[in-house]
């Protein structure tokens, strides 16, 4: 008589030989489509409902919009990824004075105290957004590590309207995640919040207290 493990594996292997899997019915998902302008409105409505803030910009003005926000809020510094394309563009347009840019160009162990105690805000790019539920998609990596959107009390994210997808399913298709999952991916809908203590909602406990989306209108 086979032992239980052998018996279970035997049944699984037998089931696996029962034939090809049925075709996946995605008709319901494919119906969730909207014009580009409506995708922007849906994403914005969903994210503003959970306290995300938006700044409007164009492909040429977004660095100035980021800079104006930082100066207006009195931020001492802004962490950015100099090896990232958007980070490099931000640095190239950054005028001296006011908020200081702080490059993330060292191992975290080399500036842990600054990162956790002195950085006012972090700037990151995004790879898209999800209109249906309202959210940003990020793919952290060596150029923009995950800590940049997690540790600073203010997270400023750059989102191009043309990269907003209808649904998460649409985003997975557009980004090719069905063929190969990225090593790290995030979906962010708003600032960090929790109600663990006496069910009292508090922001900024486990991550940024504010999420600022610089929405670039590149649909024209």
The closest of 140, 141, 148, 152 to 186, measured between CA atoms, is: 140
d(CA 17, CA 93): 60
Please report which confidence band the pLDDT of residue 1 belongs to, taking 50, 70 and 90 as the band edges. low
103-133: pLDDT as tens digits: 999 998 998 999 999 999 999 999 999 999 9
Q: What confidence tens digit (pLDDT) does each residue in 124-183 have?
A: 999 999 999 999 999 999 999 999 999 999 999 999 999 999 999 999 999 999 888 899
Question: What is the rounded distance in angstroms from the CA atom of residue 218 to the CA atom of residue 214?
Answer: 12
Residue 129 near residue 167 (C-beta atoms within 8 A): no
Nearest to 212 by CA among 153, 167, 131: 153
DSSP string of 142-182, one letter each residue: SSS-THHHHSSSEEEEEEEGGGEESSHHHHHHHTTTTTS--
For the segment 201-220, what is each residue's pLDDT rounded down to a tens digit? Answer: 888 878 899 999 999 999 98
How far apart, in whole angstroms, are the C-alpha atoms of residue 77 and residue 63?
A: 15
pLDDT, mean of residues 65-78: 97
């Amino acid at each position: 008589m086979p032992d239980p493990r052998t018996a279970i594996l035997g049944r699984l292997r037998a089931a696996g030989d029962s034939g090809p899997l049925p075709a996946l019915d995605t008709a319901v998902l494919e119906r969730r489509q909207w014009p580009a302008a409506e995708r922007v409105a849906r994403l914005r409505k969903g994210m503003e409902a959970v306290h995300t803030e938006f700044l409007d910009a164009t492909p040429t003005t977004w660095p100035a919009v980021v800079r104006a926000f930082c100066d207006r809020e009195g931020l001492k510094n802004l962490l950015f990824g100099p090896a990232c394309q958007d980070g490099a563009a931000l640095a190239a347009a950054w005028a001296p004075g006011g908020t200081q840019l702080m490059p993330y160009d060292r191992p975290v162990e080399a500036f842990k105290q600054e990162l956790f105690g002195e950085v006012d805000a972090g700037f990151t790019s995004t790879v898209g957004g999800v209109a249906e539920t309202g959210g940003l998609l990020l793919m952290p990596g060596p150029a923009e590590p995950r800590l940049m959107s997690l540790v600073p009390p203010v997270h400023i994210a750059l989102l191009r309207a043309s990269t907003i997808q209808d649904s998460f399913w649409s985003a997975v298709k557009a980004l090719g995640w069905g063929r190969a999952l990225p090593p790290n991916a995030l979906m962010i809908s708003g600032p960090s919040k929790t109600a663990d203590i006496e069910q009292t909602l508090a922001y900024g406990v486990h991550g940024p207290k504010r999420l600022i989306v610089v929405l670039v209108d590149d649909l024209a």
